[in-house]
Amino acid sequence: MPESFLLGRLLLQFNSEAADIITDLSAVALTPDGNLWVGSDETTSIERLSPVAPHIFGEHQRFAIADFLDLPGKSEIDIEGMDFSSDYLWLVGSHSTKRKKAKGKDAEKDIERLATIETEVNRYLLARIPMKDGILCESISDPDNEREQKVGCLQRTETGNLLTDALKDDPHLGLYLSVPIPSKENGFDIEGLAVRGDRILLGLRGPVLRGWAIILEIEVEEAEPGVLRLKEIGKGGKLYNKHFVDLNGLGVRELCWNGKDLIVLAGPTMTLSGATRVFRLKEILGRSGDSITGQDGGDLEVLFDLPFKVGTDNAEGLSLFPYLGGQNSLLVVYDSPDAGRMVDKNAILADVFKLGS
């Protein structure tokens, strides 16, 4: 990657609560008040960092998601995407299953563990939490808005939620939900979120189908207080649209808006180290129904590759970020960060890249 794309770094300072997340950052969002919100794939909380000096964020405050939403299980949510829209902070879990890891101590037990696939109910979470003055709230009232804004979660079902139920008969994705293929084995795995109003884009790390990545488009409405349902947006009353995108065989690792265009962070779908690439997908919400976009029509552009390191610096979180007076910069946070990013046990460096117009 040419050095000109890397503009600089931000220092993210956490308090002592951060020991369990600082090396597992998986999502980031910048809100209009200037705060950064980060999530981890290992917890059930959201972290707020505020600007304390040029290029430094601190004053860490933790918000337990269970204070706002009913979490039926005690396991992690596996937060993989965050966005802010219309006074709501949105978050999404991976909606994935996982295979137990071999521990390398007992061969017989390791073989048995590798045959065990687990489903954790908290991973099937798509939710929004109102925000006012940098604080998450159960509800907020706005004199200019006739509706009270309340916490909402996509309705859960016995096997997941309304989205996974709707996809079970899908000709492309149904198999991956009917048979619990683990996320890191090209199974169903949400790792990108971009929201405009009630319209939501969900990027899939997997499955990647013959080299084509998939972005799901849905719209939600409130069915009852605290419960969201899917609206019909596709042809024939479908509850979702599918957008197939040629990301050079990579899956979606995160999404963020840049005006009407979508910035796509793409990386390997399997558990391996490999190239991570940033794309621009033009005006995706202007499309009617399902779509397919290659790299030969001008609607999909490769912007740059991120630095590649084996086993470290897995780019996971993505957000537009103003840097050095420019509005079009891109903030990236990492899972499994390189040791050189660690400033101390509670502080870590994130990267800012030049995005261009």
261 strand-pairing partners? 258
- Radius of gyration of the chain measured on its C-alpha atoms: 19
Cα(322)–Cα(299) distance, integer angstroms: 25
Question: What pLDDT, on the 0 to 100 scale, is given for residue 1?
Answer: 39
The pairing of strands 56-64 and 6-13 is: parallel
- Which is more confidently placed, 326 or 95? 95
Cα(315)–Cα(337) distance, integer angstroms: 9
Cα(133)–Cα(136) distance, integer angstroms: 9
Cα(95)–Cα(284) distance, integer angstroms: 23
SS3 288: coil
Cα(200)–Cα(217) distance, integer angstroms: 6
In the chain, % of residues over pLDDT 90: 76
Residue with tokens 């929004």, as numbered in its chain: 128
Rounded average pLDDT over 185-210: 96
Question: Would you tell me how many other CB atoms lie within 10 Å of the CB of residue 24?
Answer: 19
Structure tokens at 256: 């963020």
Residue with tokens 């139920």, as numbered in its chain: 165
Helix boundaries (H) for the chain? 107-113, 162-167, 174-178
Residue 177 pLDDT exceeds 70 = yes
- What are residue 355's phi and psi, to 5 degrees? -105, -40
CATH code assigned at 127: 2.120.10
Query: 110-136 burial by CB neighbour count: b if 16+ within 10 A, else e?
Result: eeeeeeeeeebbbbbbbbbbbbeeeeb
pLDDT averaged over the chain? Answer: 92
User: Domain range for residue 91?
Assistant: 3-354
Cα(329)–Cα(149) distance, integer angstroms: 31
Q: Which of these, 147, 152, 124, lies nearest to 137 by C-alpha position?
A: 152
Cα(16)–Cα(38) distance, integer angstroms: 16
Best mean pLDDT range from 14-28, 56-70, 71-85: 56-70
Rounded average pLDDT over 93-100: 93
Question: What pLDDT, on the 0 to 100 scale, is given for residue 10?
Answer: 97
Q: Please count the structural domains in the chain.
A: 1
Contact 291, 301 (CB under 8 A): no
